[in-house]
Structure 1
Amino acid sequence: MKPVQKILPVSAGTDGDMSSIANDGTFPALGVVPLATVLLRDHPYPEVISLDGQTASVPEIEELVRDVEPDVLGVSALGTS
């Protein structure tokens, strides 16, 4: 198995008319905890760059994906957008 070197998780933003507490109910988001546990078990030294879709624009996210070329790209589906 090829080791995972670069991981880029992106949390989904919240629609403008929704309270941002919908995404901020827990920290870190519960979906990230099991993901990180499995990755650290199988790939102990990954480089992780996390991005908040609430504060970054789609072009910024696309540029980061092109620049970083992550081995794993995760996009949260736990948003209202």
Structure 2
Amino acid sequence: MFLEAVKLLGLEEADHAGCVMVGNNLERDVAGANRLGMTSVWINWTLRYPTEPANADEEPDYTIGLPHQLLDVLEEINSKA
């Protein structure tokens, strides 16, 4: 799904590193973003999905608990650019 999204946006592989994905599922969201070289932000706010990464692909770059915390993460990412 991530590859299709970047294709629809007209992004090249070199653009993936500039993308930030926010999701609540380690296996699907975080791993998918990590595999494409995107920055992954896991929002840990539901017990519906596993809360521990099963492998290195599921390790998020950042973890937040509430949506508004994304602003701080984006500021940090931007300061590194």
Q: Is TM > 0.5 for Structure 1 vs Structure 2?
A: no
**Would you tell me which structure has more helix in proportion to its own residues?**
2
Higher RCO (Cα < 8 Å, 6 or more apart): 1
Give the TM-score of the pair, scaled to structure 2: 0.32
Give the TM-score of the pair, scaled to structure 1: 0.32
